[in-house]
Structure 1
Amino acid sequence: MSPRVGPQGPTRPTRPTPTLAFVESPVQLLNVLEWAHGSGRTPGAPAGDRPPDVTVVVLSPGDPMTRGQLRRMAELARDEGHRVRWEEARGGSTAPLRTVRGLTPLLREANRVVIGDPFSRYVQLLLTLTRAPELVVVDDGTATMEFTAQLAGGERLVRWHRRGGRPGPRDLLFAPVSGAARRRLTPTGDRAVEVFSAMPIATVPEGVRITANDFSWTRSRFGPPRISAGADLVGTSLVETGVVDPDRYLDAVRALARAHGATRYFAHRRESPEKLHRLATSTGLEVCRPDLPLELIARRGPIGRTVLSFPSTVVHTLPLALAGTGARVAVCDIEPDWLTERASPRAHGFLSGVTGTARDVHRLRSVCAG
């Protein structure tokens, strides 16, 4: 590249700001790619400025399904020109210390740090080691809504389905690190904080810049999909997180499939094999285990003309990914009597809010209504 000529002679080409992104799930990595494609340029930079120079660090979990999807997403990230560093961050008792020690030099050099899960203890610990002047939080699903509300209220960071319970011994032991991470995620005169999200943000923390994720990278990279005449059903891990009773969930899936003629069930990566086997046997649905986030699977197609979902991230993201295709997303609310005794007192209100704030979706009147 030839040097640019400025008013006082040749100048060097502008180098992209070194950016370090930490991801623990396929959806987080997808949203890092969306951020880098659209809104990841230096704030205030002129049109045509170079995209950020991103090193993606995968803090690999132990779950085989999540690892498989992350490896596929890592291939896509490399195809986009990003560097990917795979860390076996949970591979034994010494892995966390080894991982943190290896990442410390990168954290000290980075001018911008992107994270996908501000509730992750791993990420919170890493945040305490950086002095980067820019921090970006990309979506990890509906948890982003809870994160911004807690940050705005000065509350401790805790996942929505765990709220209402007493902090455990590990929570108390980790509290100083969690508090320090929350302070790092609070904007100051020397530090800018951005939230890149497809979720509705009801309460914007003071000083935080909100940037909309419209899934422009996904739409430019995949599709448009072939739309089939039938319906597809999207699974959820609310049973696995202890929020919804498994028998009630199975009854709801059966009723939805019967009422809307669904033939395929796209499993969430955290759904257990035992639950999925029972579901397939009792409903006759074809259970699909996607190798990529559902937004990419739907965009590649084929996908049903109607996509049925319970309250989850996809009721916000799928309408964006499928914009202009003719497919519609329909959401079925979680009834109060489906919740387990272990569910947080806030669970029903939070799930209702996920549905109520979704745009461009059809809200089902009951589990059997169209």
Structure 2
Amino acid sequence: MSPRTLAFVESPVQLLNVLEWAHARGHTADRAPGPGGTASGARPESGLTLVVLSPTDPMSRGQLRRMAQLARDEGHEVRWEEARGGAGAPLRTIGGLAGPLRRAERVVMGDPFSRYVQLLLTITRARELVVVDDGTATMEFVGQLARGERLVRWHRKGGRRGPRDLVLGPVSAVARRRLTPGGERRVEVFSSMPIDETPQGVTVTANRFAWTRARFGPPGVTAGADLVGTSLVETGVVDGDRYLDAVRALAEAHGATRYFAHRRESAEKLHRLAVETGLQVVRPELPLELIARRGPIGRTILSFPSTVVHTLPLALAGTGVRVTVCDIDPSWLTAHASPRAQGFLSGVTGTARDVHRLARTAQTG
């Protein structure tokens, strides 16, 4: 039997949010309680298949393998695609998915900016499209859709369009039309992010991390502080030396001892950070929301503007853990940073609920 719903994910966080969406819809299987969690009594949706369009970096692949097993534990089918495994991989992947895509009644996706997902959207005839969070990029996606703009990641907006962008421009335009409600086509955004501009006809459903709270924890809470890393250096937004100085100052001011690395942070940067700050660098095996919920976790979590300032307060509700967000000083930005970067990062911080905000003077020591 063909799956009624195909969900396409390219990162561990996207897969987590598909599980949250399925749980919110009541699509979770009966099962025995897992470690540190409780069982849910709902039945799985008939025909939900998670398609992992596997990335190449080892950290993401490792987290995705473990998240895929959690999805199977919930009763969902998982299809692993080596979507980037050589020159012929995209054609093989898209060719193998064309039939199921045409028959699917619903398509769930974690990253509408993904060229892969945009190509797949040109094939589908599904009347229901669902976008689950891919972090703070969801805020930008919804705003661009509402304003009728082309879909461009926030840290690239304002830059020159390269040859690849021009070639794939028509594909992106088709994807944007597919993601615009019309006729019998319904579009839902399932998000823990604050959505200010709701496109006409789009349904916005709140992600409260109910599955995460039911499945894991509550965590043990320590007296100390933990610091959450970011890949803003790797994406060319923040200067590496300035970032290291800010991390050092935060750790000293708040007594932080652990640094939870983002899966995209480079090994070279993390080694330097450990040597120069004395922080214990932890490379999580699962998305941080699950790691924090399993515990132990510090009573204070320090973070720069990122997805976790929105998601951790939801995942850790009722635990007494305080999430503190530290603004990015404009002087930390690189010369290559998008003109949109500072405003977007400030918006991420300013719209975060249930977090404590540090004054910028306290960040730099």
Pairwise TM-score range, normalised by the shorter structure: over 0.9
Matches for 1:1-370 after TM superposition, within 5 Å? 18-39=4-25, 51=45, 53-366=47-360, 368=362
Superposition deviation, residue 332 in structure 1: 0.3
Superposition deviation, residue 189 in structure 1: 1.5
Q: What do the CA deviations read for 1:213-271 (whole angstroms, capped 9, x no partner)? A: 00000000000000000000000000000000000000000000000000000000000
What is the TM-score normalised by the length of structure 1?
0.92
Distance 1:55 1:256, change over 3 A: same
In 1: Cα distance, 2:160 partner to 2:26 partner: 38
AA at the equivalent of 2:287: P
Distance 1:192 1:244, change over 3 A: same
In 1: Cα distance, 2:80 partner to 2:170 partner: 28
Q: Does the 8 A contact of 1:60 with 1:90 survive in 2?
A: yes
Give the unaligned 5+ runs of structure 1. 1-14, 42-47
In 2: Cα distance, 1:360 partner to 1:39 partner: 26
SS at 2:71 equivalent: helix
Aligned length: 350
Distance 1:362 1:52, change over 3 A: farther
In 1: Cα distance, 2:14 partner to 2:179 partner: 18
In 1: Cα distance, 2:48 partner to 2:344 partner: 34
In 2: Cα distance, 1:176 partner to 1:207 partner: 23
**Percent identity over the alignment?**
78
What is the TM-score normalised by the length of structure 2?
0.94
Deviates more, 1:329-338 or 1:49-58: 49-58
In 2: Cα distance, 1:30 partner to 1:166 partner: 33
Root-mean-square deviation (CA, aligned residues, Å) is 1.6
SS at 1:160 equivalent: coil
Q: Does the 8 A contact of 2:2 with 2:100 survive in 1?
A: no
- Tell me the residue number matched to 1:8: none
Considering only CA atoms, is the larger Rg found in Structure 1 or Structure 2? 1
AA at the equivalent of 1:22: F
Q: Does the 8 A contact of 2:81 with 2:93 survive in 1?
A: yes
Distance 1:65 1:247, change over 3 A: same
Superposition deviation, residue 39 in structure 1: 3.6
Q: What do the CA deviations read for 1:29-82 (whole angstroms, capped 9, x no partner)? A: 0000000001467xxxxxx78646310000000000000000000000000000
Give the unaligned 5+ runs of structure 2. 28-41
In 1: Cα distance, 2:224 partner to 2:355 partner: 17
Superposition deviation, residue 108 in structure 1: 1.0
AA at the equivalent of 1:339: L
Q: Does the 8 A contact of 1:37 with 1:51 survive in 2?
A: no
Q: Does the 8 A contact of 1:227 with 1:304 survive in 2?
A: yes
